[in-house]
Amino acid sequence: MARLTQVDLIDLNQTFEKRTPQELIKWAKDVFGGRLAAISSMQRTGNVICHMLSSLPLDMKVLFVDTGVLFKETLQTRDRLAEAYGLDVVTLEPKQTMAEQTAELGVLYLSPEGQQTCCDLRKTQPLLEVVDEYDALIGSLRRSDGGKRAQCPILAVDPKMNCLRVNPLVGFSDEQLADYIETHDVVINPLHSQGYTTIGCDRCTTPVMPEEPKRAGRWRHLGPWAVYCGINPTDLDTETSPAIDLPQDLVDRILGRETDFVI
């Protein structure tokens, strides 16, 4: 196994700034093959990625975490999208129902600390169940979302999943996103047209006023302390250069280099 750090990706990330989202997705497929999947929460950007996968077209699984307390509109969007684009959507679920979790641990999402635990149990842990199946995941984070995502790189190491996160849409502006959705008639979660700029669990998501930040509707009851769920590694405060361990030949393919085994 070889070590791949975020620092190792600096030059490649700079080069990839000139690539289109479709080119980045194709690169990921060429490098990772069958050990590549996309991940979507059935919001605007994730659905744009799914449309791109279908239109390229590329045979790739789409991972979807059903926390057990999502809006019915989100689940319906998952089903519509899978049918419309012919995608293999793999639904991952937490080990306990919300009722079982509450009986054991109480109502976690009423405090900032509890929210972190709840999101870990219901979002991150289900994803970690497939930790050994993928070397890379295609996400849909954008810098225009602001906050910790304002500096999101195209390629980011994910130590928990021990894989590379590929974010083809980081450079997409709000205008570009809206244009793509309108031009291609992308399947969209109807909650977006009902005031929900970002959509999570039904317990912790509310509509957002026009003058509010995009993520104001997430964990509103907790104030400014809870803004992210933690499923995306670039949303977290981490060490200077997080790292993952991958086969040497795969690291070489990612970085576009040949290994000299002559000593």
Burial of residue 262, with CB atoms counted within 10 A of its CB: 0-12 exposed, 13-18 middle, 19 or more buried: exposed
Q: What DSSP assignment string belongs to 2-56?
A: EEEETGGGHHHHHHHTTS-HHHHHHHHHHHHGGGEEEE--SSHHHHHHHHHHHHT
Q: How many beta carbons lie within 10 A of that of residue 88, not counting itself?
A: 10
Helix (H) or strand (E) holding 155: strand 155-158
CA-closest candidate to residue 201, choices 57, 75, 36: 75
Choose the catalytic residue: 50, 119, 152, 229: 229
Looking up tokens 């405090």 gives: 111
92, 63 contact by CB (below 8 A): yes
CA-closest candidate to residue 119, choices 67, 54, 183, 187: 67
Active site includes 118?
Answer: no
For the annotated catalytic residues, the residue numbers are 229
